[in-house]
Chain A
Amino acid sequence: MRNAETKSELSSRSQQDLFDYLLRLGDDRLVLGHRLSQWCGHGPILEEDLALTNISLDLIGQAKFLLELAGEVEGKNRSADDLAYLREAIDFRCLKLVEQPIGDYAYTIARQFLFDVYDYYQMEQLCDSKFEKLSAIAAKAVKEARYHLRHSRQWVLRLGDGTQESHRRIQTAFDEVWMYTGEMFEADDLEDRLLEEGLAADLRTIRTSWAALVHQTLVEATLTAPSDEQYMQSGSRKGFHSEYLGHVLSELQILPRSYPGAKW
């Protein structure tokens, strides 16, 4: 299939696959964007308060475009808002990595760095997706991802190679968050089918690039990369989540659910 522009050009199988895939991309950014927004007014220093909330805005903006497109592909007249505010936790497709509470600043940075590297390589590949509307979103998002990555990488280096306390905290953060990294690369049949059609990103090559940059940065930061042989979480893409997603959604969704159609 070449340059699939509208849903009419997609087979119904691809349409369903693509809808699910766009939810994966959109939900990751929506939930992480929400998590980062919790730093608003609580950043360790003013610059970081601004940085984390700026990144949050970018991610929520990207989520809006991705969910809008998901609604369009699905063809059931659901808007980005409908998908963000009126779905149950089991219908979300985000990673457990992004659901976890913000923890301390080191935890936020460790999680962010691991996601930013993933985000950057994912969006870079999606710039070449044959689904033009997705590649347009990716072309925009990859520029933003580059900035996010530059920011979180700098902080991993500073905290790791900083004081004894900052080193201890960021190492602990990586150790704790590591078990959520496995499912970033869990390629299922759905992604394989989309990959074959040139629509999705290839998680296997992303994994190679991700591992290289993450390990190189950890070494530079005098940190130890946790082992991949340990227990890894799985199943997020199929709707298996941690309890924390429910907490995020209850905050995120209470207003539109209590006052349907509310506007200001």
Chain B
Amino acid sequence: MQRTLVLPCLPFRLPMTSKQNIYTILSEVADPEVPAINVVELGVVRDVEFEGDQVQVVLTPTYSGCPAMKIIRDRILDALHRHGYEKASTRTVLSPAWTTDWISDDARRKLKAYGISPPGRTSEVGLLGEKTIACPLCSSEDTELRSEFGSTPCKALRYCNACCQPFEHFKCL
């Protein structure tokens, strides 16, 4: 007689609700200002919390006045709704303060490939700024600051003396 293997019958959706699963969904949400990286890689997603069937994403702003935070929140909720998390919400925390050290190595490579020089490590930066910043186009370290402020709060404007091209630098914060 052949034995039948009986699998335990699980509720249809429950096993999908893991932190990992939510992070996977959030990884589809691009940073609206630097679309080369997603919001998880940017480091603004600090945690994911569950209460019953509700999901709450804990966010921290990059800069106090970053105008993209609302769009990031809206897009995160959109993505979660699309994946069936109807009761998703977000919560903002300020502490610990966001730092570019939370941007992953992988994301740094993506930034460089996108033409933005990635931030240095905060531990290596003095009060007067980062020591050497390489051009994302030709990798020369002969670059100079044009303006501390670029097209978004998180970037500075630099110029490469080797390939004579301006480029944006993700500020170390």
Give the B-binding residues of A (Cβ under 8 A).
33, 47-48, 50-51, 54-62, 64-65, 132-133, 135-137, 139-141, 143-144, 146-147, 150-151, 154
Contact = CB atoms under 8 A, between A and B. Distances in A.
Contacts of A139: 94-97
A73 B153 CA distance: 30
B65 A60 contact: yes
B64 A141 contact: yes
Per DSSP, are chain A's interface residues mostly helix, strand or loop, or mixed?
helix
Interface string B116-136: 000000000001110000000
Interface stretch (B81-89, B103-111, B142-150): B142-150
A57 B94 contact: no
29 contacts: A47-B146, A47-B147, A47-B157, A50-B149, A51-B149, A54-B149, A55-B149, A56-B65, A57-B65, A57-B66, A57-B67, A57-B153, A59-B65, A61-B63, A61-B64, A132-B95, A133-B94, A135-B95, A136-B95, A137-B94, A139-B94, A139-B97, A140-B61, A143-B173, A144-B63, A147-B148, A150-B129, A151-B149, A154-B148
A81 B127 CA distance: 35
Main SS at interface, chain B: loop
Given A59-B65, A61-B64, 18 more contacts: A33-B65, A47-B146, A47-B149, A50-B149, A51-B148, A54-B153, A57-B67, A58-B64, A58-B153, A61-B66, A65-B64, A135-B95, A136-B93, A136-B95, A140-B64, A143-B173, A151-B148, A154-B148
Interface string B52-83: 00000000010111110000000000000000
A62 B98 CA distance: 14
A58 B97 contact: no
Nearest to B98: A140
Contacts of B127: 146
B171 interface: yes
Contact of B150 (A50, A61, A65): A50
Tell me which of B95, B96, B146, B171 has the highest count of chain A C-beta atoms within 10 A of its own C-beta.
B95
Contact of A58 (B63, B128, B146, B150): B63
B65 A61 contact: yes
B53 to A, nearest CB: 29
A56 B67 CA distance: 12
B94 A61 contact: no
A62 B65 CA distance: 7
Interface in B8-55: none
Contacts of B2: none
Contacts of B64: 58, 61-62, 64-65, 137, 140-141, 144
Contacts of B171: 147
A140 B97 contact: yes
Nearest to A51: B149
The 8 residue pairs across chains A and B that have the minimum distance between CB atoms: A61-B65, A61-B64, A57-B65, A136-B95, A47-B147, A51-B149, A136-B94, A140-B97
B4 interface: no
Q: Which of B63, B66, B67, B151 has the most CB of A within 10 A?
A: B63
A143 B148 contact: no
A133 B93 CA distance: 10
